Structure 1
């Protein structure tokens, strides 16, 4: 099966008709029809439903399209890696970042990558734990930082930091009081939590069940920015990892209280895919990601990082010159 035929199949699938694909490729329509027939014969499956309005992928065709795109992308990345083996990184890198810290990590990560490696194109996705795991399983991610990655397949996971679970709400709301709060009292408060597919919600739900407590769940919300707004306006409270709430605390909109009798933590991992090429571009972005985490840790936005040894996956990038943390805190 030739790469040229795979790319032609991708073009037909995206065009949705042989006539449109023929026009964009400059290939006669009968030749494209024969190519599709040959592919279907080789695969032993029907790839398209032929309709009067065009070509529609069958379930087998949808599956083959994913593989065809991945093969084409991997070969293009291999070409770039070989071409730039002794030069700067180049190519596309897909990054997934836990939704709670995406706003803190992504902008500067992308700006530094563009400044240092203009031939690297980064696509950043922010995702809760379950969607992130799905992206990783489907081979759509090169590198990222997500919770609970130790149990995920298809990745190399390095523990970055361990975050505590806290109670949070809007400044000036009734439960904005000094000192800690008990888990039972937190459960009685009107709560907004992520959907049940989220690792945080599943864990809290299980602890409440084990203790015979009922969560007073007012609503579910998977958008971390909207969740923080619901807290700030006094609509509800939440139980979440500390790092995810600090953006609102620094803005003077949210308070946080410790929950001493909820000894839960969330482990955050830097991950790299074991199914996708560990290219120079991927290694460079991974190193930039670690540097961003080191900066956030130094500023107290995320907990202290777990000590780690130098890795072969590190890319030689000088650490950025950082301002004094107190100066940066006034400007954020």
Structure 2
């Protein structure tokens, strides 16, 4: 098994065609076919099914391609770290960002890293907290923002900020940022909610139990953007972090107010692997991400957020 074979199976899996993969790899088609067949013979299993629609991964192929991507990624990282650049931090760093933080943090983080550490290559991944935690545990992320998580045996969680959850409604509802809305009042309206099992939904469900109310959930979705679209379409109210709706409120497309009775907060932490060597590039990016979060809070660009002190992550 060699690097050329791994590149071949990953590329074919991504494009679904040996011909197209050969073009991308700057090889002739028989060479790519030979690399795949040689690897299949070595492993004793078929990695692809040859169909009229193209190359489709088998079960064994799916496992192999997943591992091959990680192996190639690690080799690329190693190459970047050991390439001699006197006095400079170099390397590839994969960062996970919560969907609600993208507009606030992504561009400032990229700009700051490019300015202070031009030898560091950033890869930004976005998803919900549960997915990001899984990717961190699997080794696909070097660091990530997560929420409502304490340190675990596999990762360290550094508390960064606590953020209030808001009731979100059409502009005609007239919700105001200076007038908190009791959960009981929000529950009187049809609600567009995150799907069950989603970390944000778990926070809301816990608050519902404390308030002793019932929710009229008309739609469930795993997309914050879709939650807002359905509110705009008049399908109901929803609950979102203040950061996710700040611009919409400013533009007057929706109205929103902090939830109260009980107040509902999420705690955002920086998650990093607990074990293993931390490359210098990962360390400087982590420091820069923390700085950008702190700046956003102190400059008032993160609505209803409070900076956390170092220590165990506080649960909402």
TM-score norm. by structure 1 comes to 0.76
SS of 1:136's equivalent? helix
- Residue 9 and residue 153 in structure 1: after superposition, are their counterparts in 2 closer, same or farther (change >3 A)? farther
- Residue 205 and residue 183 in structure 1: after superposition, are their counterparts in 2 closer, same or farther (change >3 A)? same
Match of 1:95 in 2: 95
- Residue 252 and residue 56 in structure 1: after superposition, are their counterparts in 2 closer, same or farther (change >3 A)? closer
- Residue 308 and residue 180 in structure 1: after superposition, are their counterparts in 2 closer, same or farther (change >3 A)? closer
Which one of 281, 298, 306 corresponds to residue 308 of structure 2? 306
Q: In terms of mean alpha carbon deviation, does 209-218 or 20-29 score higher?
A: 20-29
2-side partners of 1:95 and 1:222: how far apart? 21
Deviation string 1:111-168 (CA, Å, 9 cap, x unpaired) is 2223333343323233222333343344332222121343677533211122233333
Runs of 5+ consecutive residues of structure 1 not aligned to the other structure: 310-332
> Following TM superposition, by how much is the alpha carbon of 1:297 offset from its aligned partner in structure 2, in angstroms?
1.4
Runs of 5+ consecutive residues of structure 2 not aligned to the other structure: 312-316
Match of 1:191 in 2: 191
- Residue 50 and residue 255 in structure 1: after superposition, are their counterparts in 2 closer, same or farther (change >3 A)? closer
2-side partners of 1:291 and 1:123: how far apart? 18
1:133, 1:152 within 8 Å by CA — same for their partners in 2?
Answer: no
Deviation string 1:191-217 (CA, Å, 9 cap, x unpaired) is 232222421113323443565522122
- Residue 119 and residue 36 in structure 1: after superposition, are their counterparts in 2 closer, same or farther (change >3 A)? same
1:48, 1:58 within 8 Å by CA — same for their partners in 2?
Answer: yes
Q: How does 1:219-298 map to 2 (within 5 A)?
A: 219-228=219-228, 231=231, 236-251=236-251, 253-273=253-273, 278-298=278-298
TM-score norm. by structure 2 comes to 0.79
2:80, 2:92 within 8 Å by CA — same for their partners in 1?
Answer: no
Match of 1:330 in 2: none
Q: How many residues align?
A: 308
2:136, 2:272 within 8 Å by CA — same for their partners in 1?
Answer: no
Deviation string 1:82-139 (CA, Å, 9 cap, x unpaired) is 2247443334332221122221111211222233333433232332223333433443
Match of 1:315 in 2: none
2:162, 2:265 within 8 Å by CA — same for their partners in 1?
Answer: yes
Match of 1:203 in 2: 203
- Residue 277 and residue 39 in structure 1: after superposition, are their counterparts in 2 closer, same or farther (change >3 A)? farther
> Following TM superposition, by how much is the alpha carbon of 1:13 offset from its aligned partner in structure 2, in angstroms?
4.0
Match of 1:214 in 2: 214
2-side partners of 1:182 and 1:52: how far apart? 58
2-side partners of 1:117 and 1:251: how far apart? 36
- Residue 115 and residue 52 in structure 1: after superposition, are their counterparts in 2 closer, same or farther (change >3 A)? same
Q: In terms of mean alpha carbon deviation, does 263-272 or 88-97 score higher?
A: 88-97
Per residue, is there more strand in 1 or in 2? 2
SS of 2:268's equivalent? strand
- Superposition CA RMSD, Å: 3.5
1:158, 1:270 within 8 Å by CA — same for their partners in 2?
Answer: yes
- Residue 186 and residue 47 in structure 1: after superposition, are their counterparts in 2 closer, same or farther (change >3 A)? same
